[in-house]
């Protein structure tokens, strides 16, 4: 049997916002005096969170418990306005690693709701990014598909890691189901998310099997798995140890991609393990 070809997505791994947040955390570890925390895990990747712990940066899950004088790193998803205000009032030092693209979406929600639009956020209401976005609406924002009755001026934004196709479907639904005078739609799907998803789709069309590497809780990784699964057999793993040799039987082209919160070293471990299991060769990067 011929050894399979292993194709690693060019856009696999850390995005701009995650790279920036991780760099800010590393900087904080080396420069801050006093205790440093991230508010929730910095990124949806337990291995990175472990590394930070080793550098003295702990995860704090409840912002109300942060001691005055502590330093807290706001992760790339951002936090609700009221949390920021609470932390400021407590004299906690804030390092804001909110992704600039998420910040832009927050600004749009704030600007539109200040101008009498009601803003609908297309995203997962349980995701921290969406909870934060919602807070910037100060009561004049809601999660898709909910729109209060009587709203005639509507704004629409997306969770930055949303599937572009889903965002578009939701807009179409709103346009078709709501009376309106005016609708302002901002495509806040992060370009790198959209490109990563597009590349994943192409990869899945070329491959017999796709491995998506990413934290179990990573929305982005889950969505990559959805995109890949629509085309071909696909698995979502967190680390190389989860690879099951039986998946690779008879496969000739194996695609590997990773979410925006998956560090390079974990992707490399997966690629090496796939090479070891299959005897395959890496095409492209790697």
**Candidate list 95, 168, 226, 239; residue touching a copy of itself; CB under 8 A:** 168
Query: Tokens at residue 102, please?
Result: 């998420």
Contact 213, 238 (CB under 8 A): yes
150 scored as a contact of a copy of itself (CB under 8 A) = no
166 scored as a contact of a copy of itself (CB under 8 A) = no
**Candidate list 176, 241, 246, 249; residue touching a copy of itself; CB under 8 A:** 176
What DSSP string runs through 199-211?
Answer: HHHHHHHH-SEEE
Going by the DSSP 8-state scheme, the letter that residue 11 receives in this structure is T
Strand order in the sheet with 153-158: 141-143, 118-122, 153-158
Contact 165, 229 (CB under 8 A): no
Q: Pick from 260, 121, 158: which is nearest to 199 by CA?
A: 260
On the CB side of 10, how many CA atoms lie within 13 Å of its CA? Answer: 6
Q: What are the φ/ψ torsions at residue 216 (nearest 5 degrees)? A: -55, -35
Q: Residues 64, 82, 129, 169: which is the catalytic one?
A: 129
100 scored as a contact of a copy of itself (CB under 8 A) = no
Choose the stretch contacting a copy of itself; rule: CB under 8 A; options: 14-22, 93-101, 168-176, 201-209. 168-176
| Smallest distance, a copy of itself to C-beta of residue 154, A | 9
142 scored as a contact of a copy of itself (CB under 8 A) = no
Give how many residues touch a copy of itself by CB under 8 A. Answer: 13
**Candidate list 10, 61, 69, 175; residue touching a copy of itself; CB under 8 A:** 175
Choose the stretch contacting a copy of itself; rule: CB under 8 A; options: 94-102, 140-148, 171-179, 235-243. 171-179
Active site residue 129: yes
Contact 146, 118 (CB under 8 A): no
| Smallest distance, a copy of itself to C-beta of residue 19, A | 23
Beta bridge partners of 95: 73
**Active site positions, annotated:** 129
| Site of interaction with a copy of itself (CB under 8 A) | 168, 171-172, 175-176, 180-187
């Amino acid at each position: 049997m011929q050894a399979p070809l292993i194709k690693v997505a060019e856009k696999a791994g850390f995005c701009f916002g995650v790279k920036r947040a991780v760099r800010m955390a590393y900087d904080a570890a080396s420069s801050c005096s006093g205790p440093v925390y991230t508010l929730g895990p910095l990124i949806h990747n337990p291995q990175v969170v472990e590394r930070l712990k080793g550098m003295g940066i702990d995860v704090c899950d409840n912002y109300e418990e942060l001691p005055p004088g502590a330093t807290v790193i706001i992760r790339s998803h951002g936090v609700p306005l009221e949390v920021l205000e609470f932390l400021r009032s407590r004299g906690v030092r804030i390092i804001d690693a909110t992704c600039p693209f998420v910040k832009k979406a927050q600004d749009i929600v704030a600007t539109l709701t200040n101008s009498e639009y009601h803003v609908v956020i297309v995203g997962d209401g349980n995701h921290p990014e969406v909870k934060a976005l919602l807070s910037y609406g100060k009561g004049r924002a809601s999660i898709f598909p909910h729109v209060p009755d009587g709203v005639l001026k509507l704004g629409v934004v997306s969770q930055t890691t949303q599937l572009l196709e889903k965002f578009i479907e939701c807009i179409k639904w709103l346009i078709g189901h709501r009376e309106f005078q005016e609708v302002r739609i901002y495509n806040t799907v992060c370009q790198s998310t959209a490109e990563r998803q597009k590349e994943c789709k192409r990869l899945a069309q070329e491959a017999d099997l796709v491995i998506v590497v990413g934290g179990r809780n990573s929305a982005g990784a889950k969505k990559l798995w959805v995109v890949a699964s629509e085309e071909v057999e696909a698995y979502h793993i967190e680390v190389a140890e989860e690879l099951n040799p039986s998946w690779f039987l008879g496969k000739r082209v194996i695609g590997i991609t990773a979410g925006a919160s998956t560090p390079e070293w974990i992707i490399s471990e997966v690629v090496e393990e796939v090479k070891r299991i299959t005897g395959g060769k890496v095409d492209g990067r790697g």
